[in-house]
Amino acid sequence: MPQSYSSQSMTNNVDAATFKFSVVNEAIFSCTVLQEAFKRYEPLIFGRRPETLYFHSQARRNVGVSGDIDELVVQLGKPCNDVDAPSLQSDESYKLTVQNGQAMLSANELWGVIRGLETFSQIVYQSPTGGMVVNNTVISDFPRFNHRGVMLDTSRHYVSKKTILKNLDAMTQNKYNVFHWHIVDDPSFPYQSANFPELSQKGAYDPETHVYTQSDIQEIIEYARLRGIRVVPEFDSPGHTQSWGKGRPDLLTKCYSGSSPNGQFGPVDPSNNATFTFLKQFFMEVGNAFPDKYIHLGGDEVSFACWQSNPDVQAFVKRMGYSDYSQVEQYYMQQLLDIVGGLGKGYQIWQEVIDNGAKVQADTVVEVWKAGWEDEMNKVTKLGYKTLLATCWYLNYISYGSDWTKYYGCEPYNFPGTEDQKKLIQGGETCMWGEYVDDTNLMSRLWPRASAVAERLWSAQSVSNVQEATPRFIEHRCRMVGRGFPAEPINGPGFCREEYIVD
């Protein structure tokens, strides 16, 4: 639901055979992002199936209308160029006016045009007589939150590049703007490092077929950029790093039973100075591969048991004068944060890093994921940090029935904080952890349930009524099905006029 939306019953014909996009200032037409957007949205507006693309002109004269629209005029306030990339500060606002045979889309920045084109594609529809029409409509729109993310875990199960690209298309349709790529974890290391190839050679499920090459990564980043989506990679440590140790066994802490190693490995070993030499080189590469300002550094769920058993870490604790092993984690994270900050990058972290007392940069983004998020959001924002909410939106959990309503009911501002604290809430993320998810079911498990989260993050806080949202949600699910996404039924029996076609 847009921030401001008014629509009249009068309609305008839109003929696929003559329709075109035009620009007020021809200088902006050379911008690749705009050119590619225009190419994408023409078939999206008029139907994805080739056999239905140009049938409209025969029927359109049968519709009583106020005018014929043969172009959408795009006006951009700020010039664009081929190196533009979305950021946390991007302006995605736009105004869309359709009135008596004329259609105008204006935006301050390129990213507002992308969002406005998506809205225009959703308000053009097939009339009962068969032609494509759009009502006289005035929309003034902008997102409530600047960070609207989808997190995918590609370690527990490998997700193909094809599925990742398809999901980016679905994200664009739902106005998401951040792909949080939890690319590696304990089970596998599919990131193919240019400088440390042994990490994926020994850590991936298959070093030939189940990896993301540097070329794959650049293709995904560019595909996302053209859709106004940032790619924020996550390399979680010091825990969740078992796959790292297969290629670099000296990186992890050796666990002991009594006085002897037991063959098990724990978190990254912070007592070894070589650890941080490697991490600096590795994150320098990551920073170059992923151009976004932010890298997600994880920092969650660190078990201290292995550290406590290791004589080298025990000696390190004594040497540092620590009284608790949480201080070891704090030391590790502080070193890593300093490394990444020194590379000119900002970072996102899971809440445990703050909970354990690490000092972080002023522009750090803290992601809250545990139960009791209301108190945690209050705590983190009191400290002055930008904050994301994820707790409510773990869509890997499934249940029978219309479970989208519980996701829709979560409100990021519902915590005991001041207005200044709430201004630090950057948005939120829906998370799809991969224990039971791969190419076979990722899209249908994520969509359209993630659409419920998308509206809570985009639309006004007052747009929260489930009964009012339900018919729009049903329509939007069918819209996604019509575009070729296997978005599952979420409201019981029904049908879509254009049902899903298996590719």
CA neighbor of 113 nearest in space, from 171, 54, 28, 205: 28
Find the helix or strand (DSSP H, E) in which 155 lies: none
Domain harbouring 22, CATH code = 3.30.379.10
Last residue of a domain, one of 112, 141, 170: 141
User: Which residue is catalytic, options 198, 301, 411, 468?
Assistant: 301
The answer to the question of residue 16 being in a domain is yes
213 and 355 in a single domain? The answer is yes
116 and 166 in a single domain? The answer is no
63 and 187 in a single domain? The answer is no
The answer to the question of residue 497 being in a domain is no
Last residue of a domain, one of 108, 141, 174: 141
Pairing, β 67-69 against β 4-14? parallel
At residue 172, the 3 state secondary structure works out as: helix
209 and 224 in a single domain? The answer is yes
Gap between the Cα atoms of 441 and 194, Å rounded: 31
Strands, E assignment, 100-177: 102-107, 125-126, 132-141, 147-153
Domain harbouring 299, CATH code = 3.20.20.80
137 and 152 in a single domain? The answer is no
pLDDT tens per residue, the chain (503 residues)? 999 999 999 999 999 889 999 998 766 667 889 999 999 999 999 875 433 333 333 333 334 566 899 999 999 998 888 889 999 999 999 999 999 999 999 999 999 999 999 999 999 998 887 789 999 999 999 999 999 999 999 999 999 999 999 999 999 999 999 999 999 999 999 999 999 999 999 999 999 999 999 999 999 999 999 999 999 999 999 999 999 999 998 999 999 999 999 999 999 999 999 999 999 999 999 999 999 999 999 999 988 999 999 999 999 999 999 998 989 999 999 999 999 999 999 999 999 999 988 888 888 999 999 999 999 999 999 999 999 999 999 999 999 999 999 999 999 999 999 999 999 999 999 999 999 999 999 999 999 999 999 999 999 999 999 999 999 999 999 999 999 999 999 999 999 988 998 86
Q: Is 253 left (phi over 0), alpha (psi -120 to 50) or beta?
A: beta
- Token digits of residue 221: 């980043």
For 262-290, letters b (16+ CB in 10 Å) and e give eeebbbbbbbbeebbebbbebbbebbebb
For residues 378 and 414, the answer to whether their CB atoms sit within 8 Å is: no
137 and 261 in a single domain? The answer is no
CA neighbor of 489 nearest in space, from 501, 478, 497, 479: 478
279 and 416 in a single domain? The answer is yes
The answer to the question of residue 486 being in a domain is no
The answer to the question of residue 482 being in a domain is no
Gap between the Cα atoms of 430 and 68, Å rounded: 40
CA neighbor of 392 nearest in space, from 471, 439, 449: 449
Last residue of a domain, one of 141, 166, 189: 141
The answer to the question of residue 469 being in a domain is no
233 and 353 in a single domain? The answer is yes
DSSP-assigned letter for residue 27: G
C-alpha pair distances (Å), 89 with each of 2, 15, 92, 257 = 20, 37, 9, 51
- Token digits of residue 258: 């009594």
Pairing, β 386-389 against β 365-368? parallel
DSSP-assigned letter for residue 191: B
Range(s) of the domain holding residue 331? 147-464
Query: Does the active-site annotation cover 301?
Result: yes
Strand partners, 438: none
159 and 87 in a single domain? The answer is no
135 and 160 in a single domain? The answer is no
220 and 319 in a single domain? The answer is yes
**Total domains, the chain:** 2
The answer to the question of residue 253 being in a domain is yes
Give the predicted TM-score (pTM) of the model.
Answer: 0.95
151 and 135 in a single domain? The answer is no
The answer to the question of residue 495 being in a domain is no
Angle at 267 between CA 160 and CA 344, to 5 degrees: 70
The answer to the question of residue 208 being in a domain is yes
